[in-house]
């Protein structure tokens, strides 16, 4: 799927799922569009859903829906979590060691790659800490967060990819986790240098919620093959569910959840 995306200049959407409702929303949207989709969950989302439970439900959906569903560990924080995801049957492993000293990050990423490749699974690595969080920052200026981090250095990225053997590189080119008062501006000059120095590497774009459609489109045309979205879904799910609860005397949750599922599907 990654090679097809790169060759045909499209990106696969990667959407976080933390419960059966968001899982339904994302897979229903994928069925409607007849498109492959990446279903992903972070450590905390996995601990809430259950790692074996999430994998089992996705396997059932994969059989029933007959579309490519890729289950991804999103921002796995240590080797043990990556190992658990591999053993649970995940299809894609993202190890995020960006908060660690570079050499330690490289060492652990190498071990994750060794384990995942043994099982035929691709690995996404992260060298520079992508700023922000998957929260509503719409009262804040994104530039404050962008200036807090160092954008990916193409030469350093080349060394990181060659030493670790990762398949996908999570670039920091101005993209942030969360939504902000204004759209984030991506540094396409940095990204162009990255794709030039690493022509055989796939690239992901985290923080899709806060980036305008035209910037997303340009990034995809330049070589992004995976775009992560989470915050937009969280905000809509919470707001619509809250409105439904406030306006309804219904007590059956499966009825109360339907408008929120529909709204997240729209996202």
- Secondary structure of 20-74 in HEC code, one letter for each residue: HHHHHHHHHHHHHHCCCEEEEECHHHHHHHCHHHHHHHHHHHHHHHCCCEEEEEE
Residue count of the chain, please give it. 267
pLDDT at 172: 86
In tens digits, the chain (267 residues) has pLDDT values of 667 767 777 899 999 999 999 999 999 999 999 999 999 999 999 999 999 999 999 999 999 999 999 999 999 999 999 999 999 999 999 999 999 999 999 999 999 999 999 999 999 999 986 655 555 556 555 564 445 457 789 999 999 999 999 999 999 887 666 555 455 578 899 999 999 999 999 999 988 777 888 999 999 999 999 999 998 899 999 999 999 999 999 999 999 999 999 999 999
Residue 95 neighbours by CB under 8 Å, 6+ apart: 73, 76, 79, 82, 108, 109, 112, 123, 124, 125, 126
Q: Using only C-alpha atoms, what is the Rg of the chain?
A: 18
Q: What pLDDT, on a 0 to 100 scale, did the predictor assign at position 264?
A: 97
Structure tokens at 213: 């459609």
Distances (CA, A) of 50 to 20, 41, 47, 84, 211: 11, 10, 5, 11, 31
Question: What pLDDT score was predicted for residue 212?
Answer: 86
Q: Which contiguous run of DSSP H or E holds residue 235?
A: helix 231-247
Q: What is the pLDDT of residue 9?
A: 76
Per-residue pLDDT at 152:
86
Are 175 and 184 within 8 A, CB to CB? yes
Beta strands in the chain (DSSP E): 12-16, 37-41, 69-76, 92-96, 123-126, 132-137, 168-170, 177-180, 202-205, 224-229
CB of 193 closer than 8 Å to CB of 203: no
Residues catalogued as catalytic: 74
Predicted local confidence at residue 147, as pLDDT? 53
* Burial 96-109, CB ≥16 within 10 A → b, else e: bbbebeeeebbebb
pTM for the predicted model, two decimal places? 0.89
The answer to whether the CB of 227 falls within 8 A of the CB of 205 is yes
CA angle 154, 156, 158 (to 5 degrees): 70
CA distance 206 to 183: 14
Compute φ and ψ for 158, nearest 5 degrees. -60, -45
Hey, what are 238's tokens?
């919470």
DSSP summary character for residue 240:
H
CA-to-CA separations, 263 to 18, 42, 237, 258, in angstroms, rounded: 16, 22, 7, 9
């Amino acid at each position: 799927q990654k090679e097809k995306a790169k060759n045909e200049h499209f990106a696969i959407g990667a959407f976080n799922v933390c419960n059966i409702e968001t899982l339904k929303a994302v897979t229903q949207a994928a069925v409607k569009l007849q498109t492959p989709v990446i279903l992903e969950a972070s450590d905390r989302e996995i601990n809430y859903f259950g790692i074996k439970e999430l994998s089992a439900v996705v396997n059932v959906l994969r059989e029933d829906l007959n579309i490519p569903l890729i289950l991804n560990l999103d921002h796995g924080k240590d080797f043990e979590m990556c190992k658990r995801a591999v053993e649970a049957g995940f299809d894609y492993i993202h190890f995020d060691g960006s908060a660690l000293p570079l050499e330690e990050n490289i060492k652990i990423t190498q071990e994750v790659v060794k384990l995942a490749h043994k099982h035929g699974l691709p690995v996404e690595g992260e060298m520079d800490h992508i700023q922000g969080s998957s929260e509503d920052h719409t009262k804040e200026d994104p530039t404050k967060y962008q200036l807090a981090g160092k954008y990916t250095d193409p030469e350093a990225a080349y060394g990181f990819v060659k030493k670790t053997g990762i398949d996908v590189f999570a670039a920091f080119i101005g993209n942030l986790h969360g939504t902000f008062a204004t759209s984030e501006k991506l540094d396409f000059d940095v990204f162009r240098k990255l794709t030039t120095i690493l022509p055989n590497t796939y690239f992901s774009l985290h923080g899709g919620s806060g980036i305008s459609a035209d910037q997303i489109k340009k990034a995809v045309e330049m070589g992004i093959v995976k775009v992560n979205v989470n915050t937009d879904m969280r905000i809509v799910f919470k707001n619509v569910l809250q409105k439904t609860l406030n306006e309804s005397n219904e007590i059956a949750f499966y009825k109360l959840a339907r408008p929120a599922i529909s709204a997240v599907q729209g996202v």
